[in-house]
Amino acid sequence: MRKYTVLVLVMLLGLCLKAQQSEHVVLISIDGFRPDFYMEPKWPAPNMKWMAEHGTKAEGVRGVYPSVTYPSHTTLITGAKPARHGIYYNSPFEEKGQTGAWYWYENEIKVPTLWDAVRAKGMKSAAFIWPVSVDAPIDYNIPEYWYLKEGTDRIEPMRDKDIPNGFFEELEREVLGKMSNTTFNGEFFNREDRTGEMAAYVLEKHKPNFIALHLIGTDHFQHQGGRDGELVPFAVAAADRAIGKIKEAAERAGILDKTTFIISGDHGFVDVHSLLSPNVWLANAGLMSAAQDRGNWKAAFHTSGAAAFLMLKDPKDTKTLNQVKQILNDLPEKTKKLFRVVSKEELAQVAADPNALLAIAPIPGVAMSGSASGDDLKRGSGGTHGYFPDFKQIETGFVAWGAGITKGKLVHKMGLEDVAPVIAALLGLDFTAPDGVLFPGILEKK
């Protein structure tokens, strides 16, 4: 009898977790989002701070490795880490030299996404400037995408890849006005306004169940000026203003009480003073050349912000691997103190690119350069990310407010992969995050 009672309780708990607690979830990714934006008084973010105070917030969110935009956003939308979802960097490693291509297409993701689960349940979704979303199963989509051909702008590619066909023109006609590189440009804060207005319009008119949008200004201006750069507060304010536009749209549509806002990001930021170029060491040893195609290469470091991953032309070439390890070991002590070697075993533990034979993780303040010529150590400036995600500055943030969210809850630490389970639970989706954990305390008790 006791066993039967326990079984019933477990089944009821499962049903409760699958029950839909929100009709509309808005996932807002602020690129370069830091917990201090909503935890510290100096930042101009009234909407974020109000939601953090009246909902659930995290002191910090541990990211993935490398802590860069595309792998991180794919983790947000899958609950999986890079080794599983297959988006290892912003740009894939290309054996014949980097062409400038990024991981743009959704079919490169190797695991189910929240978009798949939303569609499977017969719900509607929307996304705006979301990484790795070209041709995704999204009902209203303006993906992040650009052409590699010189002289082309960033507007036409988004127009060409919109879903449904003509959706971009609808946004221009109804809310944005004619778009151009002047009115939608990462160098100006009005880009955040336009992205927020897209999401606000679609939420109010079409009322999709799940919206994901990507705001980039805080990343751009931290790269430019560092964590406390002169323009960073303006970028934070612009992102906060976009959030306010979407919240007001929900209120106008009469669905605010049925809507949940999830504000997260991809990584924090670190101020940079120096650039390290490990490919210089390989070029000096004759293992690659400084040419665009790397010449007749045997080994190369694929750099990604403050990370460098060793690739071998022949992954089974143990002779070259041992040669690279010896090169690293023989560096001057003053150089070796600038980084640590991350073994293949440790890369597997953090679920990074399984194709990399090892990685180099620099100390905070040192970033990686892909250059294979000149000095191996150069002057750096501004800020960057990509670091091994094991210290506070590189953490991102998390705020949840609205339908189904516990009020006044503080989560001390969570992982980026733990965001997708919250969204799946709120919408009652048939979705399992392969690497993520649902923290039940984030959800309002029913």
The DSSP-derived string for 203-231 is HHHT--SEEEEEE-HHHHHHHHH-TT-TT
Distance, CA of 159 to CA of 167 (rounded, Å):
8
Query: Of 432, 429, 422, nearest to 402 (Cα)?
Result: 422
Distance, CA of 226 to CA of 245 (rounded, Å):
27
The amino acid that residue 158 corresponds to is: M
pLDDT at 226: 98
pLDDT at 446: 73
In the chain, what are the domains?
16-268+393-442 (3.40.720.10), 274-380 (3.30.1360)
The amino acid that residue 99 corresponds to is: T
pLDDT at 149: 86
pTM as predicted: 0.95
pLDDT at 433: 98
pLDDT at 15: 42
Residue identified by tokens 């809507």 is: 259
pLDDT at 263: 98
pLDDT at 6: 34
Strands of 242-304, DSSP E: 259-264, 270-271, 274-276, 299-303
Between the alpha carbon of residue 335 and those of residues 44, 271, 362, 365, 374, the distances in Å are 40, 19, 10, 14, 15
Would you give per-residue pLDDT tens digits along the chain (446 residues)?
333 333 333 333 444 446 899 999 999 999 999 999 999 999 999 999 999 999 999 999 999 999 999 999 999 999 999 999 999 999 999 999 999 999 999 999 999 999 999 999 999 999 999 999 999 999 999 999 999 988 788 899 999 999 999 999 999 999 999 999 989 999 999 999 999 999 999 999 999 999 999 999 999 999 999 999 999 999 999 999 999 999 999 999 999 999 999 999 999 999 999 999 999 999 999 999 999 999 999 999 999 999 999 999 999 999 999 999 999 999 999 999 999 999 999 999 999 999 999 999 999 999 999 999 999 999 999 999 999 999 999 999 999 999 999 999 999 999 999 999 999 999 999 999 999 999 999 999 87
CB 261 within 8 A of CB 38: no
Q: Beta strand 383-384 with 299-303: parallel, antiparallel or unpaired?
A: unpaired
Distance, CA of 168 to CA of 173 (rounded, Å):
9
Distance, CA of 370 to CA of 372 (rounded, Å):
6
